[in-house]
Amino acid sequence: MNTNLGGVAGHLAKPSGKGPWPALIVIHEWWGLDEQTRRIADRFAEKGYLAFAPDLFGGELAALGDNAKATGLVQKYATGSDKSLCAVYDAIRKLPDAGAKVGSVGFCFGGRMSLLLGINRPLDAVCTFYGGGMQTLFGDLHRLRAPVLGLFGDADLSIPAGTIEKFDQLLGENGNVHEIKVYADSGHAFFRDSDPQSYRPTASADAWVKATGFFAAHLR
Protein backbone atom coordinates (compact mmCIF):
# COMPACT_ATOMS: atom_id res chain seq x y z
CA MET A 1 0.00 0.00 0.00
CA ASN A 2 1.07 3.61 -0.55
CA THR A 3 2.19 5.38 2.60
CA ASN A 4 4.62 7.97 3.92
CA LEU A 5 7.48 7.39 6.33
CA GLY A 6 9.65 10.21 7.59
CA GLY A 7 8.23 12.52 4.95
CA VAL A 8 9.07 10.06 2.15
CA ALA A 9 6.31 8.48 0.07
CA GLY A 10 6.61 4.82 -0.86
CA HIS A 11 5.18 1.33 -0.95
CA LEU A 12 4.67 -0.49 2.35
CA ALA A 13 4.15 -4.26 2.29
CA LYS A 14 3.11 -6.13 5.44
CA PRO A 15 3.19 -9.87 6.15
CA SER A 16 -0.01 -11.66 6.97
CA GLY A 17 -0.83 -12.16 10.64
CA LYS A 18 0.13 -9.97 13.53
CA GLY A 19 3.40 -8.07 14.04
CA PRO A 20 5.80 -6.87 15.05
CA TRP A 21 8.04 -8.03 12.21
CA PRO A 22 11.66 -7.29 11.33
CA ALA A 23 11.79 -4.31 8.97
CA LEU A 24 13.43 -4.10 5.58
CA ILE A 25 14.05 -0.98 3.48
CA VAL A 26 13.96 -1.92 -0.22
CA ILE A 27 15.73 0.65 -2.43
CA HIS A 28 14.94 1.03 -6.12
CA GLU A 29 17.19 1.17 -9.17
CA TRP A 30 18.01 4.37 -11.00
CA TRP A 31 14.76 4.07 -12.95
CA GLY A 32 12.83 5.12 -9.83
CA LEU A 33 10.18 3.36 -7.75
CA ASP A 34 8.55 1.19 -10.39
CA GLU A 35 6.44 -1.94 -10.28
CA GLN A 36 9.57 -4.13 -10.19
CA THR A 37 10.67 -2.74 -6.82
CA ARG A 38 7.16 -2.85 -5.41
CA ARG A 39 6.95 -6.55 -6.27
CA ILE A 40 10.29 -7.20 -4.57
CA ALA A 41 8.99 -5.52 -1.41
CA ASP A 42 5.86 -7.70 -1.63
CA ARG A 43 8.01 -10.82 -1.95
CA PHE A 44 9.94 -9.90 1.18
CA ALA A 45 6.66 -9.28 3.02
CA GLU A 46 5.60 -12.80 2.08
CA LYS A 47 8.78 -13.97 3.82
CA GLY A 48 7.78 -12.20 7.04
CA TYR A 49 9.32 -8.73 6.75
CA LEU A 50 7.73 -5.33 7.12
CA ALA A 51 9.06 -4.05 3.80
CA PHE A 52 9.07 -0.40 2.77
CA ALA A 53 10.20 0.71 -0.70
CA PRO A 54 10.76 4.49 -0.54
CA ASP A 55 10.29 6.69 -3.59
CA LEU A 56 13.57 8.59 -3.59
CA PHE A 57 12.80 10.42 -6.85
CA GLY A 58 9.58 12.13 -5.77
CA GLY A 59 7.38 10.19 -8.17
CA GLU A 60 9.61 10.68 -11.21
CA LEU A 61 10.46 7.66 -13.34
CA ALA A 62 12.77 6.89 -16.24
CA ALA A 63 11.63 4.36 -18.81
CA LEU A 64 13.64 1.16 -18.87
CA GLY A 65 16.61 1.82 -21.15
CA ASP A 66 16.46 5.62 -20.93
CA ASN A 67 19.86 5.91 -19.30
CA ALA A 68 20.11 9.65 -19.90
CA LYS A 69 16.98 10.39 -17.90
CA ALA A 70 17.94 7.87 -15.20
CA THR A 71 21.33 9.57 -14.84
CA GLY A 72 19.58 12.91 -14.55
CA LEU A 73 17.29 11.60 -11.81
CA VAL A 74 20.22 10.24 -9.82
CA GLN A 75 22.03 13.56 -10.10
CA LYS A 76 18.91 15.55 -9.23
CA TYR A 77 18.10 13.56 -6.10
CA ALA A 78 21.58 12.44 -4.99
CA THR A 79 21.92 14.46 -1.78
CA GLY A 80 18.23 14.26 -0.96
CA SER A 81 18.22 10.49 -1.33
CA ASP A 82 20.78 10.15 1.44
CA LYS A 83 18.74 12.35 3.78
CA SER A 84 15.49 10.66 2.79
CA LEU A 85 16.77 7.20 3.60
CA CYS A 86 17.98 8.31 7.01
CA ALA A 87 14.52 9.79 7.66
CA VAL A 88 12.89 6.52 6.56
CA TYR A 89 15.11 4.53 8.91
CA ASP A 90 14.33 6.83 11.83
CA ALA A 91 10.60 6.60 11.11
CA ILE A 92 10.44 2.85 10.60
CA ARG A 93 12.11 2.29 13.96
CA LYS A 94 9.10 3.98 15.58
CA LEU A 95 6.39 1.93 13.84
CA PRO A 96 4.48 -0.33 16.25
CA ASP A 97 4.56 -3.13 13.64
CA ALA A 98 8.36 -2.95 13.29
CA GLY A 99 10.52 -5.24 15.37
CA ALA A 100 13.84 -4.38 16.92
CA LYS A 101 15.92 -5.07 13.81
CA VAL A 102 16.08 -3.19 10.51
CA GLY A 103 17.91 -4.15 7.32
CA SER A 104 18.28 -2.72 3.83
CA VAL A 105 18.53 -4.11 0.33
CA GLY A 106 19.06 -2.16 -2.87
CA PHE A 107 19.60 -2.64 -6.58
CA CYS A 108 21.93 -0.70 -8.91
CA PHE A 109 21.68 2.90 -7.63
CA GLY A 110 19.80 1.41 -4.67
CA GLY A 111 22.63 -1.01 -4.04
CA ARG A 112 24.97 1.89 -3.41
CA MET A 113 22.35 3.65 -1.30
CA SER A 114 21.84 0.51 0.78
CA LEU A 115 25.52 0.63 1.70
CA LEU A 116 25.37 4.37 2.36
CA LEU A 117 22.41 3.92 4.69
CA GLY A 118 24.41 1.30 6.58
CA ILE A 119 27.25 3.80 6.89
CA ASN A 120 24.94 6.50 8.26
CA ARG A 121 22.58 4.45 10.42
CA PRO A 122 23.10 1.34 12.63
CA LEU A 123 21.43 -1.22 10.38
CA ASP A 124 21.41 -4.88 11.40
CA ALA A 125 21.99 -6.25 7.88
CA VAL A 126 22.89 -4.70 4.52
CA CYS A 127 22.48 -6.29 1.09
CA THR A 128 23.65 -4.76 -2.17
CA PHE A 129 22.74 -6.08 -5.62
CA TYR A 130 25.31 -4.79 -8.15
CA GLY A 131 25.69 -1.43 -6.40
CA GLY A 132 26.57 1.09 -9.07
CA GLY A 133 29.21 3.59 -7.97
CA MET A 134 29.80 1.85 -4.65
CA GLN A 135 33.53 2.55 -4.98
CA THR A 136 32.77 6.18 -4.09
CA LEU A 137 31.90 4.99 -0.59
CA PHE A 138 35.07 3.05 0.10
CA GLY A 139 36.61 5.86 2.12
CA ASP A 140 33.71 5.68 4.59
CA LEU A 141 33.20 1.94 4.56
CA HIS A 142 34.90 1.60 7.96
CA ARG A 143 31.76 3.18 9.46
CA LEU A 144 29.61 0.30 8.21
CA ARG A 145 29.37 -2.21 11.05
CA ALA A 146 26.50 -4.43 9.86
CA PRO A 147 26.81 -7.83 8.19
CA VAL A 148 26.94 -7.41 4.40
CA LEU A 149 25.83 -9.52 1.45
CA GLY A 150 27.05 -8.42 -1.98
CA LEU A 151 25.60 -9.97 -5.15
CA PHE A 152 27.18 -9.23 -8.53
CA GLY A 153 27.50 -10.44 -12.11
CA ASP A 154 30.85 -11.23 -13.67
CA ALA A 155 29.94 -9.39 -16.88
CA ASP A 156 28.72 -6.16 -15.25
CA LEU A 157 30.40 -3.42 -17.27
CA SER A 158 29.04 -0.69 -14.98
CA ILE A 159 31.32 -1.77 -12.14
CA PRO A 160 35.02 -1.00 -12.76
CA ALA A 161 37.47 -3.89 -12.77
CA GLY A 162 38.81 -4.69 -9.32
CA THR A 163 35.96 -2.93 -7.47
CA ILE A 164 34.33 -6.10 -6.16
CA GLU A 165 37.65 -7.52 -5.00
CA LYS A 166 38.49 -4.26 -3.20
CA PHE A 167 35.05 -4.23 -1.60
CA ASP A 168 35.61 -7.76 -0.30
CA GLN A 169 39.05 -6.80 1.00
CA LEU A 170 37.83 -3.70 2.82
CA LEU A 171 34.96 -5.56 4.48
CA GLY A 172 37.42 -8.17 5.69
CA GLU A 173 39.78 -5.53 7.08
CA ASN A 174 36.82 -3.85 8.75
CA GLY A 175 35.79 -7.07 10.45
CA ASN A 176 32.33 -7.20 8.86
CA VAL A 177 30.60 -10.54 8.65
CA HIS A 178 30.15 -10.66 4.89
CA GLU A 179 29.64 -12.76 1.79
CA ILE A 180 30.36 -11.76 -1.79
CA LYS A 181 28.87 -13.77 -4.65
CA VAL A 182 29.74 -13.15 -8.30
CA TYR A 183 27.53 -14.97 -10.79
CA ALA A 184 29.00 -16.34 -14.01
CA ASP A 185 27.56 -15.26 -17.35
CA SER A 186 25.56 -12.49 -15.65
CA GLY A 187 25.72 -8.76 -16.16
CA HIS A 188 24.14 -5.75 -14.52
CA ALA A 189 20.52 -6.13 -13.36
CA PHE A 190 20.52 -9.92 -13.61
CA PHE A 191 17.76 -9.96 -10.96
CA ARG A 192 15.40 -7.72 -12.94
CA ASP A 193 12.87 -10.16 -14.37
CA SER A 194 11.02 -7.38 -16.21
CA ASP A 195 14.01 -6.95 -18.55
CA PRO A 196 14.56 -10.07 -20.69
CA GLN A 197 17.91 -8.76 -21.90
CA SER A 198 19.52 -8.52 -18.48
CA TYR A 199 17.55 -11.12 -16.51
CA ARG A 200 19.32 -14.37 -15.66
CA PRO A 201 16.85 -16.82 -14.09
CA THR A 202 19.40 -19.16 -12.50
CA ALA A 203 21.48 -16.38 -10.95
CA SER A 204 18.32 -14.56 -9.86
CA ALA A 205 16.88 -17.60 -8.14
CA ASP A 206 20.11 -18.30 -6.28
CA ALA A 207 20.46 -14.64 -5.28
CA TRP A 208 16.95 -14.69 -3.82
CA VAL A 209 17.80 -17.74 -1.73
CA LYS A 210 20.99 -16.08 -0.52
CA ALA A 211 19.27 -12.78 0.28
CA THR A 212 16.37 -14.33 2.17
CA GLY A 213 18.73 -16.63 4.04
CA PHE A 214 20.98 -13.69 4.91
CA PHE A 215 18.14 -11.65 6.35
CA ALA A 216 16.71 -14.64 8.20
CA ALA A 217 20.09 -15.10 9.88
CA HIS A 218 20.59 -11.46 10.88
CA LEU A 219 17.16 -9.88 11.32
CA ARG A 220 15.24 -12.58 13.17
Which residues are catalytic, by number? 108, 156, 188
- Contact assessment for residue 6 and residue 90, using Cβ atoms and an 8 Å cutoff: yes
94 CB neighbour count, 10 Å cutoff: 9
- Contact assessment for residue 125 and residue 210, using Cβ atoms and an 8 Å cutoff: no
- Contact assessment for residue 57 and residue 73, using Cβ atoms and an 8 Å cutoff: yes
Give, in degrees to the nearest 5, the angle at Cα 184 between 182 and 188. Answer: 70
Three-state SS annotation for 123-175: CCEEEEECCCCHHHHHHHHHHCCCCEEEEEECCCCCCCCCHHHHHHHHHHHHC
Count of residues in the chain: 220
Of the CA atoms within 13 Å of residue 213, those in its CB half-sphere come to: 9
